[in-house]
Amino acid sequence: MSTDHSKAAALDLAAAIDASPSPYHACLKAASMLTSAGFQACAESDSWRELPERGFVVRGGALLAWVAPEGLDPATGYRFIGAHTDSPNLRVKPRPDSGRAGFRQVGVEVYGGVLVNSWLDRDLGLSGRVYVEEEGSLTEKLFLIDRPVMRVPQLAIHLDRGVTESGLVLDKQQHMSPVMAVGNRTEGAFRELLAGELDVEPDTIKSYDAMVHDLTPSRLIGTDEDMLAAPRLDNLCSAFLGIRALIAAAEKGPTRPMAVTLFDHEEVGSGSRGGADGPLLSDILERAVLARGGDRDAYLRALQDSLCISADMAHAVHPNYPDRHEPDHHIFLNQGPVIKINANQRYATEAETEAFFQMACERAGVPFQKWVMRTNMACGSTIGPLTAARHGIRTVDVGCAQLSMHSARELCGALDPGWMVSALTEALTMPH
């Protein structure tokens, strides 16, 4: 793959990320990409007597898309990519109106493993979904306030002289409430803001899932523009590259079913109706097998014939902290997809699936890297082990290398997104 094409993939990714400040907007963007490629939206509440060859469902902030060629044995397993739509951020509390010292503020709850300092002194917007009562029924409406409506100001160094020696210490409850305006606390101010955006009456808003996002656009940076700086790379990078790979694989004339599952709530344990530890994947896969004429036995056989590529981001070696990384397994930006391995099963990669993805990279002409955590440090995890344990599916954990994971703004290589799309496309379609 040429350098220009790889950078084009990074720019395409940047545009998709900027359109997706919440999991709900990420699903909306993915659905738009799929619909443009001929995929049909399906409702889980409908009967699936006939399964479209290319289809997708959306469940809250999660999405599952598939390609199911006609005429296959219902027990034929899936090749699928698993990723997630959520990222660590600040989420608005149910009673949000707050304020002290002549400021109107918004009460927020820290979602996931946030690098809280990275949210200070940034111009912040809002996005999410609202449930509005209309003629006695509830209607879901997405909203996106892509202008600076709040900010979390940092304490001046004159009032904390020891910060440069002892480090910044932030209390999530006390120090992370954004300021929204100058003036006294006003009950109902946040709901009025949402109502104005949606052109509805404030008292018709019954509930919301609202979250804060940084307004700095994603862009290529560096003297050679060889890095991509963006919010939510973990894990919208994998999510949108997976969608691109599925669309590309569908055009190659697949010989087995393929899918991409974008789960929600990975950053907080995946235990939800749209999470990897929930029923989404099993619900859809079993219904797909039944719609193709199979039964429960065929479904269980299909699971054993399936393989999951769990795609999440990986830690590149930080140039200022090389001692935090396993010395014999350094990984770098712009050197290809990373295969993640952990003997303690924090990643689900095993020898067979490691070899499978390595072969996919080789067939695609893509460089690859292998990563393990330092033995004396705790290792993170992904949806991979959950998928393997819950469904018995062979799984490999992979990802693009990045710095600043869980920051409000993260960094990856500009060449890696294109290489990952090529590797994932090959993995979905090659025989094994």
CA torsion angle for 423, 56, 79, 73 (degrees, to 10)? -140
CA torsion angle for 74, 76, 80, 86 (degrees, to 10)? 40
Q: Please choose, from the candidates 196, 187, 201, the residue with its C-alpha nearest in 3D space to the C-alpha of residue 96.
A: 187
Helix (H) or strand (E) run with residue 46 in it: none
Can you tell me the distance from the alpha carbon of 1 to that of 281, in angstroms, rounded to the nearest whole number? Answer: 32
Q: Residue ranges per domain, the chain?
A: 3-87+231-429, 89-214
Q: Give the model's pLDDT for residue 5.
A: 63
Helix (H) or strand (E) run with residue 405 in it: none
User: Which architecture does CATH list for 89-214?
Assistant: Roll (2.30)
User: Which architecture does CATH list for 3-87+231-429?
Assistant: 3-Layer(aba) Sandwich (3.40)
Cβ proximity of 229 and 404 under 8 Å: no
Pairing of strands 62-67, 137-150: unpaired
Q: Give the model's pLDDT for residue 1.
A: 41
For every one of its 432 residues, what pLDDT tens digit does the chain have, with 9 covering 90 and above? 445 567 999 999 999 999 999 999 999 999 999 999 999 999 999 998 888 999 999 999 999 999 999 889 999 999 999 999 999 999 999 999 999 999 999 999 999 999 999 999 999 999 999 999 998 999 999 999 999 999 999 999 999 988 888 889 999 999 999 999 999 888 999 999 999 999 999 999 999 999 999 999 999 999 999 999 999 999 999 999 999 999 999 999 888 999 999 999 999 999 999 999 999 999 999 999 999 899 999 999 999 999 999 999 999 999 999 999 999 999 999 999 999 999 999 999 999 999 999 999 999 999 999 999 999 988 899 999 999 999 999 999 999 999 999 999 999 999 999 999 999 999 999 886
Buried b (16+ CB within 10 A) or exposed e, 392-413: ebbbbbbbbbbbbbbbbbbbbb
Q: Give the model's pLDDT for residue 49.
A: 84
Can you tell me the distance from the alpha carbon of 410 to that of 404, in angstroms, rounded to the nearest whole number? Answer: 5
The set of residues, in sequence order, having a beta carbon less than 8 Å from that of 279 and lying 6+ positions away, is 273
pTM of the model as a whole? 0.96
Q: Give the model's pLDDT for residue 242.
A: 98
**Quick one: tokens of 182?**
């100058």
Q: Give the model's pLDDT for residue 2.
A: 44
DSSP string, 97-159: EEEETTEEEEEEEEESS--GGGGBT--EEEEEEEEEEETTEEEEEEEEEEEEEEBBPPPPGGG
Cβ proximity of 293 and 116 under 8 Å: no
Burial class (CB in 10 A: 0-12, 13-18, 19+), 187: exposed
Q: Give the model's pLDDT for residue 42.
A: 96
